[in-house]
Amino acid sequence: MGADRRAQLWSLLGDLPTPGPIACETTEVRQCAGYRLEKLRLDLNGIEPVPAWLMVPDGLTGPAPAVVYSHSHGGYYQTGKEEFIDGQSYLLGPYAELLAQAGYVALAIDAWCFGERSHRSESDTFKRMLWNGQVLWGMMCYDAHRAVDYLVSRPEVDAQRIGAVGLSMGCTQTWWLAALDERIKAAAGLVCLTDFTSLLANQAEYCHGIYYFVPGLLKHFETADIVRLICPRAFLSLNGDQDAGTPPEGVERIKAAVEPDWLAAGAPDRLRIVRYDVDHRETPEMRAEVIAWFGRWL
């Protein structure tokens, strides 16, 4: 049943590229305090190169757990993957340094329309893709999925211990990626687990960019239906009650809907959906939860 629903979810994401070999060009190597950064150009989709940062902690003695970092939106189209190494105003600090200290390899790519791929606006990209039978969010999900393909090919990485993390748009990318790709063993999403029905009831569509909207999705899937495709793998969701884009009643609706799935699978401890009295930002408690979550499940 899960495989059928996963295939159905993929089918709603438009005409996707045919997977091929992933070519990689290393364009820069930096030695930072405690880790090495490799700047890459990856051929993930056969359409345009995907710039990426790969972070490898110093002192690895064998294949290590690894994390896919998905960057936020925030209207920061020029930033993209640089958020991974430089941080952002609503983050406590860069995740590259945090994950390096914990011993994880990590990969961050520029999503469509962001960073070095910000040569066309989000709106225009959405329109062009729609005309060609593509869906912007589908193409973003496809690139993230192919990024996992690249990550597990690296000799530094233990392919059986792959995680995913992100905030805001990066959070949405994280739970979608975990639902679509069973290689994600532990996912942690910050401040963006949005129940679609609750979003509409609150007339809060404006809180999310046009990338967020998939044609026909609500005819087949609510947020809870996507999230339950992660079961019985580990999923941590940290949300803010003052976040207009994530109505708290919607968070509770999702939690009530999916908790029975993890319970029936004998893995209730692998699901944690929490609300904080905060707006659209990371808190020290959230950051501590993310690291503890990965430490437990990766």
Q: Is it the case that residue 29 has pLDDT exceeding 70?
A: yes
Q: Is it the case that residue 210 has pLDDT exceeding 90?
A: yes
CATH of the domain at 35: 3.40.50.1820
pLDDT of residue 114: 98
Q: Is it the case that residue 1 has pLDDT exceeding 80?
A: no
Domain extent, residue 234, equals 2-297
Burial 34-46 (b: 16+ CB within 10 A, else e): ebbbbbbebbbbe
Q: Is it the case that residue 192 has pLDDT exceeding 90?
A: yes
Tens-digit pLDDT profile for residues 97-136: 999 999 999 999 999 999 999 999 999 999 999 999 999 9
pLDDT of residue 39: 98
Mean pLDDT (the chain) is 97
pLDDT of residue 198: 96
Indicate the number of domains in the chain. Answer: 1
Q: What is the mean pLDDT of residues 59-77?
A: 96
Q: Which two tokens stand for residue 95?
A: 């995740």
Q: Is it the case that residue 7 has pLDDT exceeding 70?
A: yes
pLDDT of residue 252: 98
- Positive or negative, the Cα torsion across 23, 115, 195, 241? positive
Q: Which two tokens stand for residue 167?
A: 């905030």
Compute how many other C-beta atoms are within 10 angstroms of the C-beta atom of residue 214: 20
Tens-digit pLDDT profile for residues 228-284: 999 999 999 999 999 999 999 999 999 999 999 999 999 999 999 999 999 999 999
